Structure 1
Amino acid sequence: MQIAIVYDSGYGHTAKQAQAVAEGVERVGGAKAVLIPVADNPAPWETLEACDAIIFGSPTYNSSISARLKKFMEDATRPAWIPMKWRNKIAAGFTNSGAMHGDKLNSLMTMALFAAQHGMLWVGLDLFAGKSAEDNNRVGGWLGAMAQSNDESAELSPIKSDLETAAHLGQRVAELAQRLSRTAA
């Protein structure tokens, strides 16, 4: 079972979050994460079609996804959307910004709507909001994994609890994809 993680990262913080999502995916036996940075063009459409799930990730800039992830979405029209090649695939999303809230929900909503237009099945986060910086889901997202990074090296942020929240999302997607493939067989 392969799960693609399609993401953009401006300064390395969201790439670090994508890596945590991949680690979560690979906690599930038989699941393999495929990291696909959108900065590497062109997109591997055949790989994405073959994957069991696609997890989207982007920094939140000015209350929305990055221009590069938006371009990926637009580029998907002919190879994926028109022929509905991603129909019934599981989808999920994650985002990161400098502000604690920073309108990250809008970025996740953009990803969820994109997935819905492709006939995908969106998976949210099943963690209650944390109460401290040490708790998973400290930012309090339900639609996907949210992280906050200070204006510092990606070696320092996002913090451990945000990365563990991302890993939890990756694991959840892999478990649900595995369950869905068993019931389809």
Structure 2
Amino acid sequence: MPDISPSGPEVLVAIVFHSGYGHTARQAEAVRRCAEKVAGASVLYLTSEEAPKRWDDLAQADAIIFGAPTYMGSASGQFKAFMDATSKVFASGAWRDKLAAGFTNSASRSGDKLATLLQFAILAGQLGMHWVNLGIPPGNNQSNGSEEDLNRLGVFLGAAAQSNADEGPDKAPPPADLLTAERLGERVAKVALQMARGRMAA
């Protein structure tokens, strides 16, 4: 729940992610970067290995953004271990009515990234959370489009990135995908503040 100060509500946005080779970590950093820029928002930044040791801290978050690479058509095994561990949260209802969102990365343009985002959205539904979509129209889908367009991969459910298999995280994901991830972090923080203001008004 947010702290209500005379200047307005404050919200905590948590980011829980796994990164196998560093590419998804760059995406997570982009989400964090813009979430932190939203006035009134702070960020709790955890790997999926750290998160099960921080249940109490996650219970204080207004929003939790899930992130993982897509391996073989689903979220990485390390992140799925975290997902399984949230059965404790399911039993307690501790995350009910929090916001949720997600991001993922793979080497292929599609790479079945939608399957991973759907896994995140289903997890959020099981935990009683409210899903926040990307909110950016698809880019690079017309003759005058560009690889520099936001949401160049045309995903609606969350932020998607594509990293060439032969490039390290120093070169991939490309700038457009990182900017798209930034927009997701900003959107979630702003929606969390909107909800906090609504609760304050009520």
What's the counterpart of residue 138 of structure 1?
152
Give the distance between the partners of 1:26 and 1:135, measured in 2 at CA: 23
1:38 positional shift: 1.1
Do residues 67 (structure 1) and 77 (structure 2) align?
A: yes
**Which residue of 140, 147, 170 maps to 1:155?**
170
What's the counterpart of residue 50 of structure 1?
60
1:3 positional shift: 0.6
One-letter amino acid of the counterpart of residue 153, structure 2 = V
Please tell me the root mean square deviation across aligned C-alpha atoms, in Å.
0.9
**Which residue of 25, 46, 57 maps to 2:35?**
25
Q: What is the TM-score normalised by the length of structure 1?
A: 0.97
Is the CA contact (8 Å cut-off) linking 1:95 and 1:104 kept in structure 2?
yes
Give the distance between the partners of 1:147 and 1:39, measured in 2 at CA: 22
Is the CA contact (8 Å cut-off) linking 1:43 and 1:72 kept in structure 2?
no
1:175 positional shift: 0.2
Give the distance between the partners of 1:99 and 1:86, measured in 2 at CA: 33
SS where residue 13 of structure 2 aligns?
strand
User: Aligned pair in 2 of structure 1 residues 43, 156: CA closer, same or farther (>3 Å)?
Assistant: same
SS where residue 151 of structure 2 aligns?
coil
Do residues 10 (structure 1) and 24 (structure 2) align?
A: no
Give the distance between the partners of 2:128 and 2:134, measured in 1 at CA: 20
Q: What is the TM-score normalised by the length of structure 2?
A: 0.89
What's the counterpart of residue 183 of structure 2?
168
Do residues 118 (structure 1) and 127 (structure 2) align?
A: yes
One-letter amino acid of the counterpart of residue 133, structure 2 = G
Give the distance between the partners of 2:197 and 2:103, measured in 1 at CA: 26
One-letter amino acid of the counterpart of residue 107, structure 2 = G
Quick one: percent identity of the two aligned structures?
46
Consecutive unaligned residues in structure 1, runs of 5 or more = none
Give the distance between the partners of 1:96 and 1:76, measured in 2 at CA: 22
Q: How many residues align?
A: 184
Q: Which has the larger radius of gyration?
A: 2
More strand by share: 2
Is the CA contact (8 Å cut-off) linking 2:68 and 2:103 kept in structure 1?
yes
